[in-house]
Amino acid sequence: MGKRATAFLFALILILGAGCAAETREAVAAQAIAQTPTQTVTQTDGRQTPTVTRTPAIVVDPYQPYTHEMMVSDAHELAQMYPQYLQIDSIGSSVERRDLTLIKMGSGEKKLLLVGAHHAREYISSTYLMNTIDKYLYAAARGEEFGGYDIDALLSAVTVYIVPMINPDGVNLVINGIDSVIGSEVVKSMLMVKSDFAEWKANINGVDLNRQYPCFWEEKASDIREPASELFKGYSSASEPEVIALMALCENNEFAIAVSFHTKGEIIYWADSGSMGNIPSAQRVADAVAKVSGYANVSPSKEPEVYGAGFENWFRQEYSRPGLLVELTPGDGTSTPHDNALFDDIVWEDAKYIAAVLMQQALQREE
């Protein structure tokens, strides 16, 4: 065979070999795509779309100030990662039109409600709820228990409704400062109970959301009678969009238990004279949370001017079911936000099993 024929044959072999390699790579890629687990998800408009199920991974970074934008982004990433466990919804909008995100975790018949950040400077409660979702679903998707709790089994029996940040405008002010507020001049004109916007507690209308609910609202004591950084209960009960939205959520769902998370105290408010004796299971639920966290149950308040207008008080009065307020962190003698870098020590170490215990309690027969 001549040199020209040999060269031609060699070139032909290279071309054919490259074609076979390309076909092989395409075949391997096609096989990999075919083997990628998918799940058909029904959208709110009735369409069905295949969703790629991502490998479980830790999403939430709890060691930095947790903004509304971070929360929304993490929520949607978790929903994409765990479509079999998680749905994202909304209960409405805040004063500045931020979404009041609702996360539904699980598929069970019983319903449990968890709410964070009624008070702006207590945004670490939002971090706590999002970290709970993250860690629980990571374990459930891998077929692992979390601290001895079978999260997958619990979520097949209970649906946990989570509103991680009911006061996103206030949280934005605390973390990002007054220049980030849409109506900054109006906010600047409000009464400052504390000197620093980093200690702001109210919503952006200057109303303390946990003094807004129609449960002994008239009796609720307050020396603050105008919009302020904290303590102003509003000119009327349930005037704020955040409160209206959360009340509507409760009215449209039969929650077995509702819990609002706050900070500083490591205590549990679980009863008051307005509902005492009407909820036999309230003591049992409070004791279970106290046992798993080490937090102390507070003696039931007998004074409406003290306990009135709070979310948990309203929930107990309205539905005769257990409603708790859990103060997550140690008191430090200040009203400034905690350093999120300390999250594990001041929050997670004690509170990581609270949601699991609440799911168990939601499944207990009402007494």
Q: Give me the chain's average pLDDT, please.
A: 89
Q: Taking the C-alpha atoms of 42, 356, 67 and 234 in order, what is their torsion angle to the nearest 10 degrees?
A: 100
Task: Over range 122-128, report the average pLDDT.
Answer: 98
Q: pLDDT band at residue 48, thresholds of 50, 70 and 90?
A: low
Residue 33 has pLDDT above 90, yes or no: no
The answer to whether residue 307 sits within a structural domain is: yes
The answer to whether residue 343 sits within a structural domain is: yes
pTM of this prediction?
Answer: 0.86
Burial of residue 243 (CB within 10 Å: 0-12, 13-18, 19+) is buried
Task: Over range 210-223, report the average pLDDT.
Answer: 96
SS3 string of 300-311?
CECCHHHHCCCH
- Measuring CA to CA, which residue among 51, 231, 57, 240 is closest to residue 134? 57
The answer to whether residue 47 sits within a structural domain is: no
Q: Report the pLDDT value the prediction gives residue 43, as an integer from 0 to 100.
A: 46
Q: Report the pLDDT value the prediction gives residue 345, as an integer from 0 to 100.
A: 98
The answer to whether residue 240 sits within a structural domain is: yes
The answer to whether residue 354 sits within a structural domain is: yes
Q: pLDDT band at residue 90, thresholds of 50, 70 and 90?
A: very high
SS3 56: coil
DSSP state, residue 178: G
Domain count, the chain: 1
Q: Starting at the earlier edge strand, list the strands of the sheet with 99-105.
A: 86-93, 99-105, 158-163, 110-116, 257-262, 323-327, 267-269, 296-297
The tens digit of pLDDT for each residue in 261-288 reads 999 999 999 999 998 889 999 999 999 9
Residue 44 has pLDDT above 80, yes or no: no
The answer to whether residue 329 sits within a structural domain is: yes
Residues with catalytic roles? 307, 327
The answer to whether residue 154 sits within a structural domain is: yes
The tens digit of pLDDT for each residue in 236-256 reads 999 999 999 999 999 999 999
Residue 360 has pLDDT above 90, yes or no: yes
CATH value at residue 152: 3.40.630.10
Q: Report the pLDDT value the prediction gives residue 276, as an integer from 0 to 100.
A: 86
Residue 12 has pLDDT above 70, yes or no: no
Residue 121 has pLDDT above 90, yes or no: yes
The answer to whether residue 305 sits within a structural domain is: yes
| Domain containing residue 337 | 60-173+212-362
- Measuring CA to CA, which residue among 73, 75, 80 is closest to residue 38? 80
Residue 209 has pLDDT above 60, yes or no: yes
